[in-house]
Structure 1
Amino acid sequence: MHDEDINSFAGNLRGTLIRASDTAYDGARRLYNGMIDKRPMLIAQCVDSGDVITAVNFGREHGLAIAVRGGGHNGPGFASVDNGLVIDLSMMKGVRVDPKARTVRVGPGCTTGDVDHATHAFGQAVPFGIISTTGVGGLTLSGGHGYLSRQYGLAIDSLIEADVVLADGSFVTASETENSDLMWALRGGGGNFGVVTSFLFRTHPAKMLYGGPIIFDLSHAETVMRWYRAFQEGAPKDFYIWLGLQSVPPGDPFPKEHWGKKMCVLLVAHNGENAEAAVNRIRAELPAPIIDWAGPIAYPALQSMFDALYPTGLQWYWKGDFVETLSDEAIAEHLKHAATVPTPISAMHLYPIDGAVHDRASGDTAWNCRNARWSMVIVGVDSDPAGAGALKDWANGYWNAVHPYDLSGAYPNFMMEEGEARVRATYGDNYSRLASLKAKYDPTNLFHVNQNIRPSA
């Protein structure tokens, strides 16, 4: 790579090109997962689609591996690449709400919290995740599930349109009427097909919910999990509960007498009529909790409730699965491994992906698993890099114990670098179509720093 080539590239960007020798380099290359430390050659901080086109063309023409960064939040660190080019979209953060059309146009550098802030003023929301620092791009392109998914579906089910820079540097718009095959692939196929420079979402009513954590001592976890299994089968779509096995964080606002206790938490989120009465009914059926903070709450506050517990730079190790049934045998394994959770912020969560998610068929979008009831994640998390090995051992041991009771695939955002077999299992019958579309839109696999779908021959 010649200096004059890099200087020319920098001169053709409206944004900033950061090199390894620049003082801004270490800050710009930092990822959400502190366990991942990559050193790209160049970081192009793009400010518009023209910059993205310039960056894609430069990377392709000079044979550089390309990583695309939106929020930089993902577990295996696909937002960066050693010795390659990072196309950093974090400067492209515009949000425009159209309250009449009930849509929101979102830049690819936005976090879900950026969008929540804008849409909340109109009493609307997009069904994103549960931590507001998550990037919209990575979350959406791999499906996107969260508090509103049982009522309104996945994030991709609200995606109307996307502007995309393809591997050849061309710019296209994808929707159900224009480049519809690309739109199908973007709805769950990850970052395999191009760089999205704008998302258009349909919004949905969500202003004040009744929600928050109801926390039980781990001794009651078996009772709570069996109750939760039965509840989920007939739950109304506007009543969402995720279940967690973890520890009470040792700090405010948690009562000091409960710090460090192993717990089973139900995080309730009701976005409908008579919400308090609905939650009261489940309170009456369950053992007495040690903490009950469920109550009226604004949707953005619910979305950002856990942000402070999980700041940028912690050590993370993820394992995920799709779960169709929660058997007594699986519950026993969960309880066995939850009892050995290694740090106060390590956890297992079960997120519901039924309700409105099941209203579409598996072939309607690239996201294939429309029959699962939950998306499970096991996360080992710590602030100390010395604990990385223990986090991996615990998460892998836990996953190996429960995986025989689960489906073969997982939510791509809950996977590390697990290989082609897991990617194929995740997309199931949709994989061959995705591979054909990869061959059409990215035949040389330029965009391969992701949960990669190889182009078919």
Structure 2
Amino acid sequence: MPMPMARAALDPSPFRGPLVRPGDEAYETSRRVWNASISRRPELIAYCTGAADVIAAVRLATTGAGAGLPLAVRSGGHSFPGHSVCDGGIVIDLSLMKGVRVDPEARTVRAQAGVLLGELDHETQAFGLAVPAGIVTHTGLAGLTLGGGIGWLMRKYGLTVDQLLAVDLVTADGSLVRASEDENPGLFWGVRGGGGNFGIVTEFEFRLNPVGPVVLAGPIMWRVADSARLLRFYRDWITDVPDELTTAVVHRRAPALPYVPAALQGEHVVMVVCCHCGPVEEGERVVRPLREWGPPPVLDLCAPKPFTAHQAMFDPSFPPGRWYYFRSLDVERLSDEVIDTTAEHAARIVSPYTAFPIFQLGGAIARAGEDGTAFGGRSSGHTFNINATCLDAEGFEQERAWARGLWSALAPHQAGVYANFLMEEGAERVEQAYGTAKYARLRELKARWDPDNVFRLNQNVPPA
């Protein structure tokens, strides 16, 4: 067993960022991550201010006093299973690396690895531009991108990785390399979906797309008793909607938020959340059949609004500090069996904080082609993000059992899984996220760039 590092093991002189250890005043706050059900105690948290600090920290963890200790990498800290913190090891924290530079003429943006999605949108939307990225503004850009990156613009512009032009990456031997279509193209293929298996990305360069700044977006809500009928209509309606529209079906108990009528709060509901990134009047035409379907909605908040406001819509449902547990799977289509199972289990949600989205895929995601990036599942129709959420440990086991039950009932219909939605589920599930052929290619890349599996606290791809 490796011995803990001495307090002076890392000389602060070549390292600009703060170093936090057990016993320091900032330690208890610094070791926390978004998912409060994860509680781990690292030996050192190294807050990096740039690539030089990342290099120093990696060398400490591989050849210095920290050699042999677990190494975790943290950007936004949103890893569902808590891969961004470890027990008894080193956390390389990138959260101070906040640089963003937009080139509105070239329609590109460079963003450092500590940038959060809301911070990126703030800079790019000043020019009416955006990278398709995520649904919660305090998600870290780095982890989201490296796993693929689904979000509200994906059917029009593809995944976050589909807009990636280049990365700067610190490898396991402490070297800084660039990967793009022209430089280290194999590595560039791997980081577009293969997670943090190959090194620590310190900076991303993305292509930007015209978006907003006003879009037609928001939820349209019915009671959960209407779920099965609504989903059958929805299945047919989305077959010919334009790529400008991305939707997610969300089941939950109506939240206690100011825009939800008091009489509805706590009731089991189903909502279709829309985001149409084209002209608002065209969006109104596209969404009209949904509004006019069957029983009138109990709440309709789909309206013109700033894209940044819509991007923040789910923030109150997924704040830091709650207890989260996730299961996930892709399906090819919403068959009658999938719909009936979903509606039945949705009515059993107990926690007022549990909310599980079913994301509509297709469009530009599928057109990008399966082999161009490591991301798997481009042919899937929907991805389920089944999550159990509680304020704390009270009721968490019951809600977690509910999530497992829904996942098990849907498992016969599984057509893959999104790597960013996995918990600690083992090598077989990681392989399912990529498919056998891509997984084998990723293992060969891993053997080249990280043969000792230094970067293993992730959805790990072991070296071939």
Q: How does 1:169-188 map to 2 (within 5 A)?
A: 169-188=174-193
Matches of 2:193 and 2:397, distance apart in 1: 31
Q: Compare 175-184 and 267-276 and name the one that shifted more.
A: 267-276
- Give the one of 315, 320, 341 matched to 1:307: 315
- Give the one of 120, 123, 130 matched to 1:115: 120
Q: How does 1:317-336 map to 2 (within 5 A)?
A: 317-336=325-344
Residue 373 of structure 2 aligns with an amino acid whose one-letter code is T
CA offset at residue 281 of structure 1? 3.1
- Give the one of 218, 232, 257 matched to 2:224: 218
1:233 counterpart SS class: helix
Query: Is the aligned partner of 1:415 residue 2:422?
Result: yes
Q: How does 1:421-432 map to 2 (within 5 A)?
A: 421-428=428-435, 429-432=437-440
1:221 counterpart SS class: helix
Residue 81 of structure 2 aligns with an amino acid whose one-letter code is P
CA offset at residue 388 of structure 1? 2.2
Residue 255 of structure 2 aligns with an amino acid whose one-letter code is P
- Give the one of 365, 390, 407 matched to 2:398: 390
Q: How does 1:20-419 map to 2 (within 5 A)?
A: 20-61=22-63, 62-207=67-212, 208-273=214-279, 274-407=282-415, 409-419=416-426
Residue 139 of structure 1 aligns with an amino acid whose one-letter code is L
Residue 169 of structure 1 aligns with an amino acid whose one-letter code is G
Partners of 1:35 and 1:388 within 8 A in 2: no
Instruction: Check 1:8–1:86 CA distance in 2 against 1; reply closer, same or farther (3 A cut).
Output: closer
Q: How many residues align?
A: 455
Residue 423 of structure 1 aligns with an amino acid whose one-letter code is V
CA offset at residue 342 of structure 1? 2.0
Matches of 1:103 and 1:455, distance apart in 2: 34
Question: Among the aligned pairs, what percent are the same residue?
Answer: 42
2:356 counterpart SS class: strand
CA offset at residue 442 of structure 1? 0.2
Matches of 2:50 and 2:326, distance apart in 1: 32
Partners of 1:420 and 1:452 within 8 A in 2: yes
CA offset at residue 308 of structure 1? 2.2
Matches of 2:140 and 2:109, distance apart in 1: 16
Residue 358 of structure 2 aligns with an amino acid whose one-letter code is L
CA offset at residue 10 of structure 1? 2.9
Matches of 1:12 and 1:389, distance apart in 2: 46
Partners of 1:380 and 1:395 within 8 A in 2: yes
Residue 442 of structure 1 aligns with an amino acid whose one-letter code is D
Partners of 2:333 and 2:381 within 8 A in 1: yes
2:91 counterpart SS class: strand
Q: Compare 5-14 and 249-258 and name the one that shifted more.
A: 5-14
Residue 284 of structure 2 aligns with an amino acid whose one-letter code is E
Task: State the Cα RMSD in Å.
Answer: 1.2
CA offset at residue 309 of structure 1? 2.7
2:256 counterpart SS class: coil
Residue 42 of structure 1 aligns with an amino acid whose one-letter code is L
CA offset at residue 301 of structure 1? 0.4
Q: Compare 442-451 and 326-335 and name the one that shifted more.
A: 326-335
Q: Compare 381-390 and 287-296 and name the one that shifted more.
A: 381-390
Matches of 1:313 and 1:285, distance apart in 2: 38
Matches of 2:345 and 2:444, distance apart in 1: 41
Residue 137 of structure 2 aligns with an amino acid whose one-letter code is S
Partners of 2:376 and 2:418 within 8 A in 1: no
Residue 277 of structure 1 aligns with an amino acid whose one-letter code is R
Unmatched 5+ residue regions in structure 2?
none
Partners of 2:4 and 2:88 within 8 A in 1: no
2:12 counterpart SS class: helix
Q: Compare 50-59 and 386-395 and name the one that shifted more.
A: 386-395
Residue 174 of structure 2 aligns with an amino acid whose one-letter code is G
- CA deviation vs aligned residue, 1:311-341 (integer Å, no higher than 9, x gap): 1110000011111111111111111110111
CA offset at residue 392 of structure 1? 1.6
Residue 381 of structure 2 aligns with an amino acid whose one-letter code is R
Residue 60 of structure 2 aligns with an amino acid whose one-letter code is F
Partners of 1:321 and 1:410 within 8 A in 2: yes
Matches of 2:331 and 2:273, distance apart in 1: 18
Q: Compare 310-319 and 269-278 and name the one that shifted more.
A: 269-278
Matches of 2:458 and 2:294, distance apart in 1: 42
